[in-house]
C-alpha cells in the first residue's frame, strides 16, 4: 500500500487521495498484480538474481510491458535488484537522492521491497511517496524528484524505457526540505 506523506506530516494511504495530491504533477500511480505463479514468487523472494533469473521474471511480467509498448511506445525494460549485499550500494544511490529531473519519464513497477520517491509540487511544497510491491509509477519527464531506499534497503523493480539516454539525472540544486523516513509501512 502506497503511503504519501506531506510536509506537515499528513499521511494518505488511499490510492484516490494519493492520486489527487499528485495530480498537479501528472504522476500516474497504479496497482498491478505480480501474479500467482509459484516460480515467479520464488524468484522474487530471493535476495539477489542472476541475469537468467532476471530475464525469467521479466518474461513472467511481459503482459504489462506489451501494454506499455502499444499505448506509450516503450521499447525496453530491465529489472533492478537492490539489497544490502550490493557492493557500493550507498554510492550508487547518491546519484538519485538529490532533487533532479530526467528528459524521459521515469517508470517503475515495484515487485518486491519498497522505495521512496520525493516530489516538488508546483507550489514548491514537497511530498514523499513510499511505494511497495505491486505498485506502478510513471514520473513524467521534467518532474523534480528524488529517490531513495527505506531502512530495509531492498527493492526489486521493473524499469521501462522509451529510449535510454534520458535517464541521466539533471540536478536542479533545490534543497530537500525534510526527508521522511517511514519506519512503519
Confidence of residue 168 (pLDDT cuts 50, 70, 90): confident
Number of Cβ within 10 Å of residue 80's Cβ equals 12
DSSP 22-76: HGGGT-EEEE------HHHHHHHHSS---HHHHHHHHHHTHHHHHHHHHHH---E
pLDDT at position 57 over 50: yes
- Torsion of Cα atoms, 162 then 168 then 174 then 177, to 10°: 80
Mean pLDDT of the chain: 92
CA distance 155 to 184: 16
CA distance 98 to 38: 38
List b or e across 91-108, with b for residues whose CB sees 16 or more CB atoms inside 10 angstroms: eebeebbbbbbbebbbbb
For residue 165, the 8-state DSSP code is G
CA distance 102 to 162: 12
144-161, pLDDT tens digit by residue?
A: 999 999 999 999 999 999
Question: Could you tell me which residues are beta bridge partners of residue 113?
Answer: 155
Task: Tell the CATH superfamily of the 3-163 domain.
Answer: Jelly Rolls (2.60.120.10)
| pTM, rounded to two decimals | 0.92
Report the range of poorest mean pLDDT among 31-45, 128-142, 169-183: 169-183
The predicted pLDDT at position 167 comes to 72
CA distance 168 to 115: 19
> Domain residues of the chain, as ranges?
3-163
CA distance 65 to 71: 10
- Express the helix, strand and coil content of the chain in percent, nearest 5 each: 25, 30, 45
Amino acid at each position: 500500500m502506497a503511503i504519501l506523506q506531506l510536509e506537515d506530516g499528513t499521511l494518505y494511504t488511499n490510492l484516490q487521495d494519493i492520486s489527487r495530491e499528485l495530480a498537479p504533477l501528472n504522476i500516474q500511480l497504479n496497482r498491478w498484480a505480480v501474479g500467482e505463479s509459484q516460480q515467479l514468487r520464488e524468484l522474487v523472494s530471493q535476495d539477489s538474481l542472476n541475469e537468467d533469473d532476471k530475464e525469467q521474471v521479466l518474461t513472467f511480467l511481459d503482459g504489462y510491458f506489451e501494454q506499455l509498448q502499444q499505448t506509450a511506445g516503450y521499447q525496453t525494460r530491465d529489472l533492478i535488484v537492490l539489497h544490502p549485499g550490493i557492493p557500493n550500494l550507498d554510492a550508487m544511490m547518491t546519484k538519485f537522492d538529490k532533487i533532479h529531473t530526467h528528459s524521459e519519464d521515469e517508470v517503475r513497477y515495484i515487485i518486491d521491497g519498497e522505495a521512496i520517491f520525493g516530489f516538488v509540487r508546483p507550489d514548491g511544497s514537497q511530498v514523499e511517496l513510499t511505494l511497495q510491491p505491486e505498485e506502478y509509477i510513471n514520473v513524467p519527464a521534467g518532474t523534480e524528484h528524488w529517490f531513495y531506499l527505506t531502512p530495509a534497503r531492498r527493492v526489486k523493480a521493473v524499469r521501462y524505457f522509451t529510449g535510454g539516454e534520458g535517464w541521466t539525472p539533471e540536478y536542479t540544486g533545490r534543497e530537500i526540505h525534510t526527508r521522511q523516513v517511514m519506519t512503519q509501512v
